[in-house]
């Protein structure tokens, strides 16, 4: 199984400041079709998960451009350029390259 490791576990941030979350996979997420199926989801308190980024760097419909994804192979990053109050929640990376599908443990973004 592919293990997804996120750091940090918690990220206290000041409104308007940037935030960055790292995600590392135990093996390459490059699929045999050449795509890398790494996504990021956001879960606000009391809400279901919501897709932010797919295939490393593609923002889903309606996602603000302050969210960006990057990386390749086994190392990936989600960045929030300027944190807003509505960004508070837990962020998960997830791989859809290979079954069983796996998630990172989550990173809690909270305000200082």
Partner 1 sequence: EVQLVESGGGLEQPGGSLRLSCAASGFTFSSYSMNWVRQAPGKGLEWVSYISSSSSTIYYADSVKGRFTISRDNAKNSLYLQMNSLRDEDTAVYYCARLRGDRTWDYWGQGTLVTVSS
Sites of contact with partner 1 (CB under 8 A)? 35, 37, 39, 41, 43, 48-51, 54-55, 60, 90, 92, 94, 96-97, 99-106
CB of 82 to partner 1, least distance (A): 25
Report the nearest approach of partner 1 to the CB of residue 51 (Å): 5
Residue 23: closest CA among 2, 44, 46, 1: 2
Q: How far is the CB of 59 from partner 1 (least distance, A)?
A: 12
* Comparison of 74 and 95: residue with beta carbon closer to partner 1: 95
Query: Nearest approach, Cβ of 24 to partner 1 (angstroms)?
Result: 16
- Write the DSSP string, 52-108: EEETTTEEPTT--TTEEEEEETTEEEEEESS--GGG-EEEEEEE-SSSSPEE---EE
**19: number of Cβ within 10 Å:** 20
Cβ-based nearer residue to partner 1, 40 or 87: 40
């Amino acid at each position: 199984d592919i293990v997804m490791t996120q750091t940090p576990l918690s990220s206290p941030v000041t409104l308007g400041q940037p935030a960055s979350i790292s995600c590392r996979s135990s093996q390459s997420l490059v699929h045999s079709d050449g795509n890398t199926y790494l996504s990021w989801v956001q879960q606000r308190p009391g809400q279901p998960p919501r897709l932010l980024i797919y295939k490393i760097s593609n923002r889903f419909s309606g996602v603000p451009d302050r969210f960006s994804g990057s990386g390749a192979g086994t190392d990936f990053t989600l960045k929030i350029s300027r944190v807003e109050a509505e960004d508070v929640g837990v962020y998960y990376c997830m791989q859809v390259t290979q079954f069983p599908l796996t998630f990172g443990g989550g990173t809690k973004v909270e305000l200082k």
